[in-house]
Structure 1
Amino acid sequence: MHTVYIALGSNLENPLEQLQQAVRSLQTFAINLSVSPFYGSKPLGPQDQPDYVNAVVKFDTDLTAIELLDKLQSIENEQGRVRLRRWGERTLDLDILLYDAQQIQTERLTVPHYDMHNREFVIVPLYDLTPDLQLPNGQKLSELYQQFKNHQMVVLSK
């Protein structure tokens, strides 16, 4: 079994419901699924778009990293994924943050997620789930969290 962390984000077509539906879809194959609180956050990219709803889930799976990526992309497509521009609005985005302590670099997949350490909407909910987590590079999540402990996100649901 592999322990994985997935970031969820949406800012189109009822974002909170988009994330709740994504969690229900993940439950069909995830084992020991845990969900962080859902946070409202400002867009990372262009500011002329709606605010986001973000969360992180943790679960165990027997899927390979590529099989997991395929499943996540299938869920995105089933929920009518729309991605209009880079870092722009989207109905659903599911990103593999961590896959065990592995470092994966392929044409389709980079794990750990290439920019997770710079994103409060990833680090804060990840910390909510596993504050004692150590990242594959040896960095403690609790240390990384310090730069985001005064974040401006709003908890939407727990």
Structure 2
Amino acid sequence: MTHKSRTYNAKNASGCYYASQHVMRHKDTQGKCNQVLVAIGGNLMGQKDSPLDEVEAAICEISQSGVEVAAKSRVFRTPCFPAGAGPDFVNAALLCVTDLPAPAILQTLHDIERRAGRVRAQRWGPRILDLDLLAVGAQICPDLKRYRQWAGLELAEQMRLAPDELILPHPRLHERAFVLVPLMDIAPDWCHPVLRKTVAELHAALDPADLAEIRPISQ
């Protein structure tokens, strides 16, 4: 299956090429190849000159890690969440293809964060790099009951608690404009396996005021 709009075959400053933008490919009809959605962002400088450079370098690392970057969104500038917790973020989203199982994908992302210098000292605090595994196909992990427990947390609990296991799809995916806006570039037709709504439908339900705060800084 191919879902295609713009193309993006330019070489970035880190020397990495990206496949056509807004492309969804199903490479393995036997179901052995996972289509993966990843959110990427940051608001602090680490080893690079800017948060944007950190994001671009991380995308390059992902593409060299056994996780194929099939499509990349534009990069957006978004207000820090929670408000006042730090500088504005830069955010993007990736559609990837890999044979790795979900826990191995997550470990790959955490390893890239660690090499970039991220220290997990404060939940939702400023960070050099944030790589969130949003979805692996239509997988629900570890099960529907646990997903609903985490997705149903009140804000105060969200800020205090972090799961000690992989929750898929990401329990906050459907609420966050800074996630859904980039996903609209690359996977508007992806359907949430619990909510049974597409990215486009979830995006349409967001507060317009939240959407207005997110501005593209790359094409």
- TM-score bracket, normalised by the shorter chain, equals over 0.9
Query: Whose RCO is larger (CA < 8 A, sep 6+)?
Result: 1
Q: Which moved more, 1:65-74 or 1:24-33?
A: 24-33
Change (3 A) 1:135 1:48: closer
Return the TM-score normalized by structure 1: 0.93
String of CA shifts for 1:33-82, please: whole Å, max 9, x gaps.
Answer: 21101000001125141000001101100001001111111000011113
Matched, 1:145 2:203: yes
- Pairing 1:11–2:10 present: no
Q: What is the 5 A alignment of 1:1-150? A: 1-13=33-45, 14-28=50-64, 29-105=66-142, 107-137=164-194, 138-148=196-206, 150=208
User: Contact between 1:7 and 1:122, CA under 8 Å: does it hold in 2?
Assistant: yes
Distance 2:207 2:190 in 1: 16
Displacement over 4 Å in runs of 4+: none
Question: Once superposed, what is the RMSD of the aligned Cα atoms?
Answer: 1.6
- Which one-letter code corresponds to 1:6 in the other structure? V
Same amino acid, percent of matched pairs:
34
Letter in 1 for 2:99: D
Larger radius of gyration, structure 1 or 2? 2
- Unaligned stretches of 5+ residues in structure 1: none
What residue identity is the alignment partner of 1:5? L
More strand by share: 1
- The Cα offsets for residues 93-144 of structure 1, whole Å up to 9 and x where unpaired, read as 1011010100012842111001111110101111111112211121122211
Does the 8 Å CA contact 1:124/1:148 hold for their aligned counterparts?
A: no
TM-score, reference length from structure 2: 0.68
For 2:102 and 2:130, the matched residues in 1 are separated by: 17
Q: Structure 2: give runs of 5+ residues left out of the alignment.
A: 1-32, 144-163
